[in-house]
Structure formats: C-alpha cells, structure tokens
Amino acid sequence: MTTTSLTINGPMRPRYDEILTPDALAFVERLQHRFGGQRHALLADRMQLRYDLGNGRDLRFLPETESIRRDPDWRVAGAGPGLHDRRVEITGPCDPKMTINALNSRANVWLADLEDATSPTWANIIEGQLSLFDAIRGRLEYTSPGADGAPGKEYRVTAERTPTIVMRPRGWHLVEKHIEHTDRSGRTFAASASLVDVGLYAFHNAHALIAAGRGPYFYLPKLENHREARLWNEVFTFTEAELGLPHGTIRATVLIETFPAAFEMEEILYELRDHCAGLNAGRWDYVFSIIKNYRNRGLRFVLPDRDRILMTLPFMRAYTELLVQTAHKRGAHAIGGMSAFIPDRRSPEVTERALERVAADKRREARDGFDGSWVAHPDLIPVARAEFDAVLGDRPNQLDVLREEVAVTASELLDIRSAGGEITLAGVRANVSITVRYLESWLRGIGAAAIDHLMEDAATAEISRSQLWQWMHHELRCADGTFITHDLVEGMLAEVLAELPRPDGHKLAEAEEVFRQVTLGEDFPTFLTVPAYARFLVERDEEPIDSATDQRAA
C-alpha cells in the first residue's frame, strides 16, 4: 500500500486497516517530512559524543545552559488528568493478554510498552496498536489457544477503574522497516519507529482518551540530551495542532536512562516544559549507558557482577537523588526504577527473600521522595503500594519534598569506581546465559522474557552483553584468578547452548550468531536490538497489494 511518500511493505492482516488508514498514514507522513531530518542530525550528534567520550572527555553539567538551571521561576506543565497519583506503575508489552492483565492489575499507571519489552515484529507493533485501540474503547477481549485448536481461557477487563495508560514508543535510534518513507530528493528510508508509534497512537486515540478523562500520554525512552527533548516537544506541538488538541494536552514522562541525560535533566525538563509530567529513573538502561559510553576508558569505569550493581552504591544514589531534586524543583513527578522479580509459588523461600528486597527497594525510593515506582509483575503491586502508602498516606504524591539538601556534583555521578565489588566466574556465566536466552526469545517475537525468576527485557540483556565485552577487552580477572577471555566466553556459550531445550520454532542458532556479533566482535554495536532487528525479514503478503483498491476499501 502506498500513500504520497509512504509505502507499507508489511502484510495487511485482519483489522490492520483499522490502524493503517489513509488518514493515519498521511499524518505519519507529515511527521516524517517535518522531523525526519532533525532526527538524523541528532543521531549523528550521538555518534560524535561517543567518539569524544572514548577519547578522554568526561561528561559535565553544561556551562552554556547554566542560566536555565539558575532561573527559579519556570515550571513544567505537570500531571494531566489521571496522572496525579502514580505510586505504582506496572510495565509490559501490548499484546491482548498482557494488556488485559495490566488493566486488571489495580496499578495506578500502565506503561504500555512498544519499546524494550516488545520485540518489534510487524505483528507485535500493529497488533499492539490494535490492543490499545480496543482497550481505550472498552472492548478488548482475548481467548487463548487451547489444546487441539479448541478455545482456551478467556480474558477480559473486569476492573471498575483501570490504570492510566502511558505509552512508550520506540527510541529515536530505531526504524520501522515495514514502512518506507521517500523524502523530497527521492531517497527512500525506513520510517522512524518513534514517529510511527506516536503518530498512529495519537491519531487514533487522543480524542477518545480525553473523552474518558485521561489523555494522550507518553514515556520517552533513550534521550541523551536536551536537543532530543526539544525535538519531541516540537513533535507534540505539531501533533496537537494537526489533531485539533489544545496546546499542552499531550503529557510526557522522560526516562533518564542514559548517562549523558543525567547531566542535562533540568534542560530536558525546560525543553519539554509545556508537555512534561515527570522524570523516571530508568536504572538498568542507565547502567548499560555508562558501560557503553566509557567501555574503553579503563578500570575506572568497570563494574562488578550484574547482581552486585545495587541502587545503594554511591554513584547510583547520586543519580537518583539528583533526579528527585530536579523533578520536584520544577513541578514534575519523580518515578522510581523497575523491580523485575517474578514470584514463583514453587519456590516459596526464593520468593520470600526476593519480596523482602523489593520492599526494601520501594521503601528507600518512597523515603527519598519518589512519587511512585515501577513493577513488572502484578504480584509486586501490593508490596510496592504498601511502601508508598506508608510515606504518602492520603497524598497523591510528594512534590513538596524538594530535597534542597542534595548537592550532587559531576564527579559523584562519574564515580563508577565506588561500586567496588568483584567479578566472578558465576557472574560471567550468568551474563552469557541471560544474553543468549534473551536474544533467542526476542528473535521469536517475545521481548519480555522470564529468565531465572526475573523479567528480562532489552535493557537488562544490554548490561549482560556489554559487561562481557568490556571485561574481555580489558583482559580482567575473576576473583579466583581466571582471565576473562574470548575462549572462556566461547566455552561458556557452548555449554549454555548445549543445556537449553530446542522446542519447535526455536531461534538458538540465530541467537548464537547475534550473540557473537554484539558480544564477541571487535566493534561494539550501540544497541543489540539493531543487529537483531536486521535478522527480521520484511514480512510481505503472498499477493501484492493494489494501493488504489486498498485505499478505496479503507
């Protein structure tokens, strides 16, 4: 199907025409024409920054924007309808079953995730949009497949009050290869995944959300600086004008999940001030970003085993305390990080210890001034809610907790050596196992994978593979004296692969190939999802679509 400058390469399965309507695609086309060039320029700036950091530059608070930080008067738009109380937020992909479970979860907010928890197959993206489309209109139902083709369990939304939906689009660095855009010079590119996700969701749902007493709300991932925030603000302003929405209707919560963004939190809020509701401490992507940006800078930036990177470490405390102070100073919510443990009734002792750790983590966040926090499983909601209820009481948030005593310096954010700890053989093997198992799941179309009692997504897998790369390239030793070499990791990879089951449709061979590319190669891919996405062939209908006939039918 072809519009003026967009070509849909993916198959038009049942109901896809309800999302990929001519008018919706025309809107996405206008977003691409208006903002595609700026996006490319900002991605080039990211490459330059990584080059500079690799050559000895350290991040700092920007002297050229000091006046913004010193100005006491400006504030962000703040919470929109349905966003004032965010004490417990559940995250998850947008397939029908997970959508229904999230809406029945009794969380305050559902992060409807088209990013790290979603493997971006064509079906997952468009059917995720369909799930949201139906859920917002109160008509989503799902029947799981049963044995021998018989219907299985039925799922439907039963909660009287459902969580406020905040949709997370894919990041600026990603593309949607099933939608091609031809620019004014005649060159053809895969469309920006960010603009596709936001454009389709806002076009179809903004007015329905407002009528339901909520609004078109977004979580913005992977931002690295205030210029990228400025681009999002321009996208939102343009979207409001195009869709006939009052300026400021859209609300965004920014994930501070890259190391460079931690040094520009206030500037990011300033650029998005007409549309901003909050900041979130995306802690696992933040750790990955540290390793990625400083991976070649020596022992000063080497972290211990993944499970020893705790929020109580000094450099992580500096990051979260600065986030709370910055957000509240400007009237924005501060939302805490993910607890990804999956309770298991078959392992009551493991579950009890893990729930105690989750409770301690949420207790620390609530006492530090956070207004809410994330969980990955419905069974964690009561644990998180109890800790925030104990601090918030009847208040919807604690924006009045300004943390004026906090005075974080750039050197404190950069003090990665404060992590201390050690690297163990068990930690190396765990990283190998997590990376290859997650990649296999992702390549099968499952972006949130239950692995060893944790819900792993792209962010946590990124930590595992980037630690392996860094440890090998620095020729580090484990605590027992074993050198971390390519041969060691190759041997562990072979052992892990030999132990894994091979059900029908498994992708272990492909996962092994991607593992070698993102972990064992000399080059360091900026995101594992980029080479993994290249493995997805463009899905096509068996018969070509006649665009004129298709548009008349739509």
pLDDT tens by residue, 110-119:
999 999 999 9
The 3-class SS string of 465-478 reads: HHHHHHHHHCCCEC
Among 429, 452, 468, 461, smallest CA distance to 529 is for 461
Distance, CA of 442 to CA of 446 (rounded, Å): 5
251-255 and 217-220 strand pairing: parallel
pLDDT score at 1: 60
- Could you give the angle at the alpha carbon of 356 between the alpha carbons of 353 and 362, nearest 5°? 145
Spatial neighbors of 264 by CB under 8 A, at least 6 apart, are: 61, 62, 65, 225, 226
pLDDT score at 545: 37
Catalytic residues: 168, 457
Distance, CA of 187 to CA of 181 (rounded, Å): 8
Query: Which structure tokens are listed for 499?
Result: 């132990």
- Extended strands (E) in 193-249: 217-220
Q: pTM here?
A: 0.95
- What domains can be seen in the chain, in order of their start residue? 6-413 (3.20.20.360), 422-533 (1.20.1220.12)
- Portion of the chain with pLDDT greater than 70, in percent: 97
Spatial neighbors of 38 by CB under 8 A, at least 6 apart, are: 231, 234
Cα 136 versus chain centre, distance: 21
- Extended strands (E) in 485-550: none
Write down the mean pLDDT value for the chain.
95
Query: Which structure tokens are listed for 203?
Result: 């076009």
Exposure b/e, 116-147, CB count within 10 A at least 16 = b: bbbbbbbbbbbbbbbbbbbbbeeebebeeeee
H or E element in which residue 331 lies: none
Query: Which structure tokens are listed for 469?
Result: 């790369």
pLDDT score at 3: 57
Cβ-contact 528, 461 below 8 angstroms:
yes
Report pLDDT digits (tens) over 465-513: 999 999 999 999 999 999 999 999 999 999 999 999 999 999 999 999 9
Report pLDDT digits (tens) over 97-108: 999 999 999 999
Cβ-contact 120, 533 below 8 angstroms:
yes
Question: In which residue are the tokens 């390793």 written?
Answer: 291
Mean pLDDT for 392-415 is: 98
Residue 538 clears pLDDT 90, i.e. is over it:
no
